[in-house]
Chain A
């Protein structure tokens, strides 16, 4: 595991423990994807509103803690600021507010919204003849929402070749409405599709820099809870739960053993 990604996971665990909040397994499935996005994006952490920055929208907004820890790792703010995660007057809510957190382009949380906003951003940049890129991260559970597929249809119809949709295929819906063969479905919608190991940073960066002539969907084969065996084995029990002190110690040991 990449050491920065391990650090991001450790921060997620610690903050979840101290705050009593957090969707840990869903964050753990996208740590490498979030980090890879910010490694390939054009951005300036010291100047979050830089006019030439690429844009990222976290459509699966409940992975906000993972996003905050990634932004901190990139230098947007010190990780200590995130410790008040979910507290009454914290800047860092369980779903992100774009007016409170530097680097957050859109406030998300309700599923099936962020991808449509990202499509609008990509269309705006195309109209403005800008070469800036737009990235959005969508969950497989989120893709139960019909608006996800509406947005994909519009992106294809408008030929938004600067839009990259990362699809977190962490199989979270195995007890509910499943979407088998997502890559096949996105191809059928007219997207260019890449399939990668969502925990392989190098493979992610290669996919995210692929040159395409239409919307690019990167299907991430991920494991919900990746990095801690306990979380992987007890995905549903840990969906929204924070560890007590003893459990935190055990999860940290598992994280650093991998």
Chain B
């Protein structure tokens, strides 16, 4: 997904000379050509994430359109106050683009795992929160949102799915399938790949959301008469769905403890029952409960 990010931003930069890239010494090789072509619009500024955000705010104040990119926990959890005040409160727009979603850096342990970013950024007034599941979703949403004056968060993953989720429109969820059972599975981001495999013959409804803020309330309302099972490998989607209130919602996701394993993403998903087999068990368990 980082390759697509680079490609789309490069194309945006060709057409819009306000675009510039700021890195926290991450993904530097991806942007070699960008740097050579536009040296005054490329800044591998240093490993100082809070200042990346503050500087981006200052750049935006003068009409430029920064893309700030580094690893998710450092750009979001460490910089929460800079995002809150320098971007949101001041209403200076910038694009925050991270890698290392959830357990993408499984082997690095809890210092590099990132699962609160979506939830905490949703709380900030004016913030847009996007978790693209595929490169196609990323491309469309970068193009539609990059210069709209809002701070926008794009959470990249090294494990995107390749499912066609239909027309990609900011703030709109996708109906992946409709079933005859009264259970609707709701997910977001790359995990959709596991969920599709898990529910393929279970006759449930399946919704996917690339935009967590604003959440597509109308789509959730359409399925509010069913039991909703939120399946997500991060915090934030459950809270977004529950904005509607009055729903019957279950959560199959993360525990309230650090996931102190290493290895590969798939091993952690398996341990958390967030691989296709674990998700399938959770859906069947809910189906087995009388409505």
User: Residues of A with Cβ closer than 8 Å to B?
Assistant: 98-99, 105-107, 109-110, 113, 115-125, 127-128, 147, 150-151, 153-154, 157-158
Contact = CB atoms under 8 A, between A and B. Distances in A.
B8 interface: no
A120 B57 contact: yes
Given A121-B61, A154-B46, A127 B54 contact: no
B54 A151 contact: yes
Contacts of B48: 147, 150, 153-154
A119 B41 contact: no
A202 B204 CA distance: 77
A154 B51 contact: yes
Interface of B: 20, 40-41, 43, 45-46, 48, 50-51, 53-64, 81-82, 85-86, 89-91
Contacts of B61: 105-106, 117, 120-121, 124
B86 A117 contact: yes
Contact of A128 (B51, B62, B81): B62
A54 to B, nearest CB: 12
A119 B54 contact: yes
A121 B48 CA distance: 17
Contacts of B60: 120
B135 to A, nearest CB: 30
B65 to A, nearest CB: 11
Contacts of B45: 154, 157
B54 A147 contact: yes
B85 A110 contact: yes
A124 B62 CA distance: 6
B62 A117 contact: no
A120 B58 contact: yes
Given A123-B59, A153-B46, 20 more contacts: A98-B90, A106-B90, A107-B90, A113-B54, A113-B82, A113-B85, A116-B50, A116-B86, A117-B61, A118-B58, A120-B58, A120-B60, A127-B41, A127-B64, A147-B48, A147-B54, A150-B46, A150-B48, A150-B50, A151-B51
